[in-house]
């Protein structure tokens, strides 16, 4: 359970960092967010990977980087999702994943704008 907690905690911490950067620099367009789409090989000992593990990590990076570069709206949608999660919006509570959020957004349940960036409460939360 500790490893899973650390994995989830690190992910949400990184997303929080992205949102903080977006609030701190509102004139900047954050175009791409690249994250591993699959588990990467690891080892209990630092830098103790075999060549096939390194090749797997490299291939995953190329695949994920290419996919991120092809999407023009992924970062904005990801930011909107995590802002709604952080604000505890009722529509994204109870295990709503990013994929579920995207399905709901395509069905018209969410606006396409990121008006949460103008929300004073959200600004105070991220710019402390």
C-alpha of 28 from chain center: 17
What six digits make up the tokens of 117? 């960036």
pTM of the model: 0.64
The predicted-structure confidence for 52-107, as pLDDT tens digits, reads as follows 999 999 999 999 999 888 888 888 888 888 888 888 888 888 888 888 888 998 89
Evaluated on CA atoms 67, 71, 77, 79, the torsion sign reads: positive
Collapsed DSSP state (helix, strand, coil) of residue 33: coil
State the burial class of residue 42 (Cβ atoms within 10 Å of its Cβ: 0-12, 13-18, 19+): exposed
Distances from the Cα of 76 to the Cα of 22, 56, 71, 117, angstroms = 10, 28, 10, 11
The predicted-structure confidence for 21-54, as pLDDT tens digits, reads as follows 888 888 888 888 887 888 888 777 767 888 999 9
């Amino acid at each position: 359970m500790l490893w899973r907690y650390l994995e989830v905690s690190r992910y949400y911490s990184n997303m929080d960092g992205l949102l903080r950067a977006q609030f701190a620099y509102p004139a900047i367009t954050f175009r791409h967010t690249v994250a591993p789409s699959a588990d990467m090989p690891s080892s209990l000992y630092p830098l103790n990977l075999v060549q096939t593990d390194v090749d797997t990590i490299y291939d995953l990076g190329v695949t994920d980087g290419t996919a991120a570069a092809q999407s023009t709206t992924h970062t904005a949608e990801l930011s909107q999702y995590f802002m709604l999660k952080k604000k505890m919006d009722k529509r994204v509570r109870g295990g709503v994943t990013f994929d579920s959020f995207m399905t709901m957004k395509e069905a018209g349940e969410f606006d396409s704008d990121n008006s949460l960036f103008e929300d004073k409460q959200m600004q105070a939360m991220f710019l402390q």
